[in-house]
Amino acid sequence: MIRRGVWRRVFRGAAPLPGNRIRLLRSGAEFFPALIAALDAARVEIHIETYIFHADASTLAVREALVRAARRGVRVRVLIDGIGSRDLPADWLAVLRGAGVAVLVYRPLVTGWRANPRSLRRLHRKIAVVDACVAFVGGINLIDDFEPVRLPAPRLDFSVEVRGPLLARIHANVRRLWRLVALTQLKTLRRDPAVEPTWPTDGRIRAAFVVRDNFAHRRDIEHIYLAALALAREEIWLANAYFLPGRRFRRLLREAAARGVKIRLLVQGHTDHPFFQSAARALYRDLLAAGVAIHEYHASELHAKVAVVDGCWATVGSSNIDPLSLLTAREANVVVDDQPFAQELRRRLAAAFDAAPALDAAAWQRRPRLSRMLSWLAYGAVRAMAGLAGGGRWT
- Residues annotated catalytic, as ranges: 124, 126, 131, 303, 305, 310
Burial 86-100 (b: 16+ CB within 10 A, else e): eebeeebbebbeebe
| Residue 160: how many other CB atoms lie within 10 Å | 26
For residues 334 and 324, the answer to whether their CB atoms sit within 8 Å is: no
Rounded Cα–Cα distance for residues 368 and 21 (Å): 50
Instruction: Please give the span between the terminal C-alpha atoms of the chain, in angstroms, as a whole number.
Output: 26
Residue type at 33? Answer: P
Rounded Cα–Cα distance for residues 335 and 111 (Å): 38
Contacts with 110 (C-beta within 8 Å, 6 or more apart), sequence order:
116, 119
Rounded Cα–Cα distance for residues 90 and 325 (Å): 28
Rounded Cα–Cα distance for residues 211 and 317 (Å): 10
Rounded Cα–Cα distance for residues 102 and 77 (Å): 5
DSSP structural state of residue 273: -
Rounded Cα–Cα distance for residues 322 and 251 (Å): 15
Among candidates 306, 241, 316, 304, which has minimal Cα distance to 276? 241
Burial 185-217 (b: 16+ CB within 10 A, else e): eeeeeeeeeebebebeeebebbbbbbbbbeeeb
Q: Give one word for 81, left, alpha or beta, with left for phi > 0 and alpha for psi -120 to 50.
A: beta
Helices (H), 42-163: 57-71, 90-98
DSSP structural state of residue 114: G
SS3 22: strand
For the chain, helix (H) and strand (E) counts, in that order, are 13, 14
